[in-house]
Structure 1
Amino acid sequence: MRPYPLAQSLNPDLPDVLLHMTGRHGERHSSLLSAIAEMSPASRLGSILDMRTLWASNTFDTWCPVVCFTQTTRRAMASLNGRRFDGVGIAFHVQPVFDEGGGPALYVRGDEYDELHGSPTLSVQARSRMVRYWPGARPAQDTDPPLPRSLSGISEWLHEREWRLPRPASVTGDWGWKFQPEHVAFVLVPNATVLQELITDLGQRRAANGTDHTWLKGVPVASIVGSEWVFKEGLDVAAWT
């Protein structure tokens, strides 16, 4: 089966790019490699650009490693900068992520979650894209038994507009996604200081590994000014609204 290409520019609220942020605030899953956890957001981005690879990892409730993205707008990302994310990341055109098996997260009510998430009739990939959507609950009576985590815990993450690219061992042996230069739409850095850190990091990697970074010369860079993301003059970034 060969799916047709995805429709583009459906709505200003649905960008045609997916962002992979390299710095975020909040709890980290225990499976995250310490070598990655200890890097700064700029160094993580430098590693991704140097190796042209996004490493997948097990996140909360996934059945296999996944690569996570967000399909968010400039305005929404600006509002999350400093609160949820550090404003450092890389944007990909949506089509190659879809072609590799990625798709929007499957948001499932908490009172339906355990049945679907544990269903053996669904693929590992489908179950790994499931995200529980639930405000939490408590037993009807004080004497009732405790509720399972799927019902008692709070999980409301619609604002992340998450996409997941599952990478089970049956699909890939390296637990990652090796992307091509043409898959990259732009990179994000919040300010000139982080940009210089990224440039220095890439220079050190090039000196150590001899990696060819010439493809990066044509990649647009977005930085935040006030509450808006702006791009270098003359760069075509119409895909990110």
Structure 2
Amino acid sequence: MARIDLGLLRPAQSDDLFHFTGRNGNRPDYVPEKIRNMSPQERLDAILGTQRLRGFRPFGTTQACICFSESPPDHLAHLIITRGFSPWGVVVDRVAVLEMGGGSVAYVPDAVYTYFRAGGLEHWAVRTGTDSVWLHEREWRLPIRGEGVNLVSVRAILIGDPEWRPSPVETGDWLNGETGERIPGPDGSPHTRPIEDLPSLWRNSQIWVWDASTNTVIKHAPGTLC
């Protein structure tokens, strides 16, 4: 099946949609306490280990969504430097989100927002006004059923520390720790142990490292930071 053609990109547009794992502000009480108390690095580590993005209700809505920000390079710098977003998360492209049923939200005045709410579509809109100033997020949302979506691949992984690595995960393979030989599976030997490696999303994706000295990202090819 052919991918959606979104036309030529303009300077204010980007194919990069960032799901940040850290930002300023409080998280709603209905987000599990364990997740609320995690650092941005810990949330990213959990995403990479489980290969899953979990979604929750955006403020003022009843529909759970996974949220992204469309950010050209200069706007990414604005979000991180000025708006306090943490440079940790995963990057996907617009077409992938559209094909899964997501899209960009509408930023509308209160009077228009009431129509979205009346139709049960408030998760597709964000109010604008003195008490609701979120245009800088350039938000996209992916409504979900259940707790989240599985990630087979991503465009890139964003990190704020070039030395950071995710926690190893079990690969499904086994090793005899005494001889170093791979074995088909647990054989009852006390020397048998599972083989661990960095998560496949980390090994198979570009890694974008935020460089605070230049306010840009340094892009590393898949497998080069393993």
Q: TM-score range by the shorter chain?
A: 0.7 to 0.9
1:129 aligns with 2:129: no
Alignment RMSD: 2.6
Pairing partner for 2:199 from 207, 213, 217:
213
The equivalent of 1:95 in structure 2 is: 95
Structure 2-normalised TM-score? 0.77
Please tell me whether the aligned partners of residues 57 and 67 of structure 1 are also in contact (alpha carbons under 8 angstroms). yes
Of 212-221 and 32-41, the range deviating more from structure 2: 212-221
Mapped to 1, the partners of 2:195 and 2:57 lie a distance apart of: 28
CA distance in 1, matches of 2:150, 2:197: 15
Deviation at 1:27, TM superposition (A): 2.5
Task: Give the CA deviation at 1:218.
Answer: 2.8
Distance change >3 Å, CA 206–CA 78, structure 1 → 2: farther
After superposition, the C-alpha distances for 1:20-45 in whole angstroms (9 at most, x for unaligned) are: 00011113222111111111111111
Separation (CA, whole Å) in 1 of partners of 2:17 and 2:107 = 18
**Structure 2 residue runs without a partner (length 5+):** 172-193
Larger Rg: 2
SS in 2 for 1:81: helix
Distance in 2 between the 1:31 and 1:13 partners?
35
- The 1:3/1:63 distance shift into structure 2, 3 A limit, reads farther
Question: Structure 1 residues 133 and 45, CA, compared in 2 at 3 Å: closer, same or farther?
Answer: same
Aligned-pair CA distance for 1:8: 4.7
- The offset of 1:224, in angstroms, is 2.3
Identity of aligned residues (%): 26
d(CA) in 1 for partners of 2:72, 2:33: 31
The residue correspondences of 1:1-241 to structure 2 (distance < 5 A) are 5-82=4-81, 83-114=83-114, 116-119=115-118, 122=119, 124=120, 126-135=121-130, 154-167=131-144, 172=145, 174-181=146-153, 184-192=154-162, 195-196=163-164, 199=165, 201-203=166-168, 205-206=169-170, 213-225=199-211, 226-232=214-220
- What 5-or-longer segments of structure 1 have no aligned partner? 136-153, 236-241
Higher helix proportion (structure 1 or 2): 1
2:141 partner SS:
strand
Normalising by structure 1, what TM-score? 0.73
Deviation at 1:175, TM superposition (A): 2.2
Render the CA deviation track for 1:65-110: whole Å, top value 9, x for unaligned: 1110000112211122154211111101221211111110121112
1:98 partner amino acid:
L
Measure the CA separation in 2 of the matches of 1:210 and 1:166.
33
